[in-house]
């Protein structure tokens, strides 16, 4: 049976849901197709932060001019200026649309990632408050669940404030920990149904209310439905060929198709084709097999151009065995761990190569630059002492008070985590020059004592210090490595997705190889090139533009539908 909708959206992450919600609100009949068996895409498993400049929330004094001053200072390399300005000019309008529907983001006091540059602020990163997933009824268990790293003991949901406070043993962390556990077990009705925590936090807290609104507007989301081809008729995209459990069929779109299917980080062939250094799909921290680039390939097949595909949204990761079976491995983020006091990172030559406390994307860029120069990165080593081990996480290794050395399986030692009583012996275990590593530790200890890193400026910006340890004096990002035993874990060039994808303009229209819009084809999110080019201005630099350009795409389709 032939099916026809006004708009077809490919992908059910924040970009796709925002595009679909706005299109439905404007009176269009919308279908979302999602290849996974759960809602939410990569957005659902993310931190759920949206970086939106000039957002107008919470009494901010941010302006268009200040936002562009900062972005101009941050962005290196060519970008589409009108696309960047469209993002800055439309973010506030998009948020007001969501507020009207009862979806309310909250500004967080987190510094921009280039806090030292003009125009930077500490209120452009927005999060959603904790949200009751049971409001979704039978759709509750079908929202893609958070990774274990966002849950306490792989069970208890935590918002970002709780996550950071408990992880860093901040003020009141024990009381907060008790509150998280108590909140879960007091919810007896949910415990009868599932072990899953009813409270949506981080990325789930973004997807939950969007899905609720889509349901109220009768927008269908068809799960386990994969895009195979874009249909072109008379030079215009008129629909899609999709398949579900191997059965293919055609769905027509009267007014447009919006590609919001994420990037290509799980496609090794595309990584090898685009990236300047050799990386692995197994280093990414996004859901396994989720973003494999089918939409990009389908669009390239009909003549679409790509841009900014040279880099991912870098994030240092580490690999450790699954808790249930040591022959299966899991990826864990180490985005803040690498820069906490009491740790230092070196390449395989034993040299520091970056300010460890910089933003995770800058850390990844440092790994790339060092590997291109030395060939001795990817992975690098994170080295830390017993004080760090007792207090902080090291990727998937929880603080010793929660995960003691005795509780770590014997077959993990000297494979995933290394330990020795001296720095020299640790260096030998990880095949570094002992004298070089001893000297690196000596210098870090001197910097920690004086509060100043004369090599890389670690701890010199408010961003560096914001994610350090306030009890560490005189610099919260710089702590010594003095107490044995000493530890090391390998750190990989992971990512939160890809920065590049389909080339789109300021109106979210996908462009062909002659920079002309492909009629009927739109895109948003990591399926497109970032409006920031190869740069990452602040926490939420993926989800913010994804939602804004999803909103812009819907406006553009609705306007054309009236003509």
Q: What percent of the chain is predicted at pLDDT more than 70?
A: 100
pLDDT tens by residue, 38-58? 999 999 999 999 999 999 999
Read off the pLDDT band of 1 (50, 70, 90): low
Interatomic CA distance for residues 411 and 409, integer angstroms: 6
Whether the Cβ atoms of residue 31 and residue 242 lie closer than 8 Å to each other:
no
Read off the pLDDT band of 163 (50, 70, 90): confident
Say what the pLDDT of residue 383 is.
98
What domains, with CATH codes, occur in the chain?
1-141+203-311+499-563 (3.50.50.60), 313-495 (3.90.700.10)
The pLDDT of residue 324 is above 90: no
pLDDT tens by residue, 60-109? 999 999 999 999 999 999 999 999 999 999 999 999 999 999 999 999 99
Backbone angles phi, psi at 174, to 5 degrees: -65, -40
Interatomic CA distance for residues 550 and 528, integer angstroms: 11
Average pLDDT value for the chain: 96
What would the mean pLDDT of 462-470 be, rounded to a whole number? 92
Whether the Cβ atoms of residue 305 and residue 512 lie closer than 8 Å to each other:
yes
Of residues 551, 507, 433, 394, the one with CA closest to residue 82: 507
Backbone angles phi, psi at 325, to 5 degrees: -160, 115
Of residues 462, 481, 331, the one with CA closest to residue 392: 481
The pLDDT of residue 341 is above 90: yes
Half-sphere exposure of 311 (CA within 13 A, CB side): 20
Whether the Cβ atoms of residue 313 and residue 541 lie closer than 8 Å to each other:
yes
What would the mean pLDDT of 13-21 be, rounded to a whole number? 98
| Cα 283 to Cα 258, 286, 492, 495, 497, distances in angstroms | 29, 9, 6, 7, 11
Which residues on adjacent β-strands are paired with residue 495?
314
Whether the Cβ atoms of residue 196 and residue 132 lie closer than 8 Å to each other:
no
The region that residue 414 occupies, defined by phi over 0 for left and psi between -120 and 50 for alpha, beta otherwise, is left
pLDDT tens by residue, 166-211? 877 778 989 999 999 999 999 999 998 899 999 999 999 999 999 9
| Cα 398 to Cα 173, 391, 408, 534, distances in angstroms | 15, 9, 10, 32
Which residues on adjacent β-strands are paired with residue 528?
502
What would the mean pLDDT of 486-492 be, rounded to a whole number? 98
What's the pTM value of the predicted model, to 2 decimals? 0.96
pLDDT tens by residue, 218-270? 999 999 999 999 999 999 999 999 999 999 999 999 999 999 999 999 999 99
Say what the pLDDT of residue 402 is.
86
pLDDT tens by residue, 116-139? 999 999 999 999 999 999 999 999
Tokens 């901040």 correspond to 170
DSSP string, 237-287: EEEEEEEETTEEEEEEEEEEEEE-----TT-HHHHHHH-SS---GGG--SP
pLDDT tens by residue, 278-311? 999 999 999 999 999 999 999 999 999 999 999 9
Whether the Cβ atoms of residue 397 and residue 320 lie closer than 8 Å to each other:
yes
Interatomic CA distance for residues 561 and 69, integer angstroms: 36
Tokens 């560096």 correspond to 464
The pLDDT of residue 114 is above 90: yes
């Amino acid at each position: 049976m032939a099916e026809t909708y006004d708009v077809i959206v490919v992908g059910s992450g924040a970009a796709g849901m925002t595009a679909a919600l706005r299109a439905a609100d404007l009176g269009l009949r919308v279908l979302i197709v999602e290849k996974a068996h759960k809602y939410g895409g990569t957005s659902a498993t993310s931190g759920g932060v949206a970086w939106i400049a000039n957002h107008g929330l919470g009494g901010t004094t941010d302006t268009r001019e200040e936002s562009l001053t900062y972005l101009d200072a941050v962005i290196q390399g060519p970008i589409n200026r009108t696309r960047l300005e469209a993002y800055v000019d439309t973010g506030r309008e998009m948020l007001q649309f969501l507020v009207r529907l009862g979806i309310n983001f909250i500004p967080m006091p987190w510094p921009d990632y280039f806090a030292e540059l003009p125009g930077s602020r500490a209120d452009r990163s927005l999060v959603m408050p904790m949200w009751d997933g049971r409001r979704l009824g039978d759709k509750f268990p079908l929202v893609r669940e958070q990774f274990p790293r966002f849950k306490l003991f792989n069970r208890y949901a935590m918002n970002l404030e709780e996550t950071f406070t408990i992880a860093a043993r901040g003020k009141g962390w024990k009381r907060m920990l008790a509150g998280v556990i108590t909140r879960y077990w007091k919810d007896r009705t949910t415990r009868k149904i599932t072990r899953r925590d009813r409270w949506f936090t981080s990325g789930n807290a973004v997807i939950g209310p969007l899905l609720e609104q889509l349901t109220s507007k009768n927008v269908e989301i068809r799960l386990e439905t994969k895009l195979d081809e874009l249909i072109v008729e008379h030079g215009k995209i008129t629909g899609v060929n999709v398949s579900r459990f191997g059965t293919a069929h055609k769905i027509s779109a009267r007014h447009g198709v919006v590609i919001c299917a994420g990037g290509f980080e799980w496609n090794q062939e595309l990584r090898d084709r685009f990236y300047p250094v050799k990386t692995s799909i197994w280093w990414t921290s996004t859901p396994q097999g989720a973003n494999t680039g089918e939409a990009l390939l389908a669009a390239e097949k009909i003549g679409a151009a790509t841009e900014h595909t040279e880099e991912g949204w870098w994030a240092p990761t580490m690999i450790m065995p699954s808790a249930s079976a040591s022959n299966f491995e899991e990826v864990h983020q180490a985005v803040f761990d690498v820069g906490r006091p009491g740790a230092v990172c070196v390449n395989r030559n034993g040299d520091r190569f970056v300010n460890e406390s910089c933003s995770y994307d800058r850390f990844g860029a440092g790994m790339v630059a060092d590997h291109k120069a030395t060939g001795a990165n990817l992975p690098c080593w994170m080295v830390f002492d017993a004080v760090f081990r007792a207090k902080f996480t090291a990727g998937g290794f929880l603080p010793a008070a929660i995960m003691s050395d005795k509780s770590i399986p014997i077959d993990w030692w000297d494979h995933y985590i290394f330990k020795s009583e001296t720095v020299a012996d640790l260096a030998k275990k990880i095949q570094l020059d002992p004298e070089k590593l001893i000297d690196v530790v000596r210098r870090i200890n001197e910097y920690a004592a004086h509060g100043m890193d004369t090599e890389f400026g670690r701890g010199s910006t408010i961003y560096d210090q914001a994610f350090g340890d306030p009890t560490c004096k005189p610099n919260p990002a710089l702590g010594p490595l003095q107490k044995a035993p000493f530890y090391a874990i390998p750190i990989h060039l992971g990512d939160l997705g890809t920065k590049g994808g389909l080339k789109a303009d300021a109106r979210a229209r996908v462009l062909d190889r002659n920079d002309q819009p492909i009629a009927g084809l739109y895109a948003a999110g990591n399926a497109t090139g970032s409006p920031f080019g190869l740069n990452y201005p602040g926490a939420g630099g993926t989800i913010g533009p994804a939602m804004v350009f999803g909103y812009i795409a819907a406006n553009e389709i609705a306007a054309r539908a009236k003509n």
